[in-house]
Chain A
Amino acid sequence: MFIEDGDLILRPVEKEDLKFIRDTRMTPGVREEMGFRKPANLEQMKEGFREAMEDEDHIELLVVYEDSRAGHLSIDLDLENGNADYGMFLHTDLHGEGLGTRVTELILDYVFSEFPVNRVDASYRKGNTASRKMQRKLGFQEEARERDFIHLRGEYHDLVRTSILRSEWKE
């Protein structure tokens, strides 16, 4: 366990979690949304896992909800510029329960508390209402819309870049 909030736990990612991450990422519908175009098997997952471990500025955590694996998140620190890039996914069964908001809240607390960063960056595909709502609720500001940035299901989509500054995050 690394961060705990009742029935929600964020803990280090272990090799044993890769199967869950693979299954979730490869789910049709989720896969396209997350930008995974090609299949990734366990071998590829393991290699990525080992590579990611060598990078001090890359942090990953597994989301565990009511004792079951529920999702995965990553934080990429850029300490020279004082920012951090955040990305998260939850298993489809758990969408719409406000879990994403709780996870992101814990992560913003963690990042602003433990690292000298001034801003946390995120993004969402235009039309992804769940992500938009969650980010707005937590105070992320929309600061750019990259036109036709994502090619998905035969069409181009805009990507909305968002961020939240330390001064905007609650004390």
Chain B
Amino acid sequence: MTGATFIKGENLDLRTIERDDLEKLQEMGNHPELRKYSPGARPVNKLKQEEYFEDFLSKDDNVFLMIEYGEEAVGWVNLKHIKEDSRKAEFGIRILPEHQGKGLGTEASNLIIQYGFETLNLHRIYGRTFEFNSASKALMEKLGFKREGTKRKAVFKDGEYRDVALYSLLEDEY
């Protein structure tokens, strides 16, 4: 296995993301199915992926962990833009389509949320997703996130400006 196990789960582990994962990350970023639900619209080549890995993924105010399931990296989960003064961070997750629907997203999310509140001492974890992404909205609701608003027609996707749904989970609701 690439990387070090950071959090052990029942069916999956969350591990550090290493340079050896660049190809996998690139595959996930460019994946036509995953791109349908992601605001990123541009192709990412190896050099761009490397830049992103060095300048963003490996920075202290972002925690990105690979989801390792059955000896395979099947996606990643993250708490990014961690702000220590206001004790908040943004939650995000990607899972390759062939591994969706197995409950991996719920388990990986619960692990990183617990870590966020208990180890990083966060007060608020927030998430956002396209209004049309019902799977992602369902996941956040299942995790206990509360809908707190809508960014109206905020991002151009699939031929028009789309609403973005805003969610958050507070320390005392968790």
Contact = CB atoms under 8 A, between A and B. Distances in A.
A15 B50 CA distance: 13
Interface residues of B, number: 19
Contacts of B42: 56, 59
Contact of A59 (B43, B47, B156, B161): B43
A53 B43 contact: no
25 contacts: A1-B27, A1-B30, A1-B31, A1-B32, A2-B30, A2-B35, A3-B32, A4-B32, A11-B30, A11-B43, A12-B26, A12-B30, A12-B43, A12-B45, A12-B46, A12-B48, A13-B45, A14-B45, A50-B47, A112-B159, A113-B158, A114-B156, A115-B41, A116-B156, A116-B161
Contacts of A59: 42-43
Contact of A2 (B32, B46, B48, B156): B32
A61 interface: yes
Contacts of B46: 12, 14-15
A53 B32 contact: no
Interface residues of A, number: 20
B157 interface: yes
Contact of A113 (B27, B30, B44, B159): B159
Interface string B142-172: 0000000000000011110100000000000
Contacts of B159: 112-113
Interface in A89-134: 112-116
Contacts of A14: 45-46
Interface string B28-64: 0011100100000111111110000000000000000
B45 A53 contact: yes
A60 B43 CA distance: 8
Nearest to A171: B159
Contact of A61 (B31, B41, B43, B47): B43
**Which of A4, A11, A12, A116 counts the most chain B CB atoms within 10 A?**
A12
A61 B45 CA distance: 9
A19 to B, nearest CB: 15
Contact of B48 (A53, A112, A113, A116): A53
Most A-side CB within 10 Å, residue of B35, B41, B45? B45
B157 to A, nearest CB: 7
A2 B161 CA distance: 22
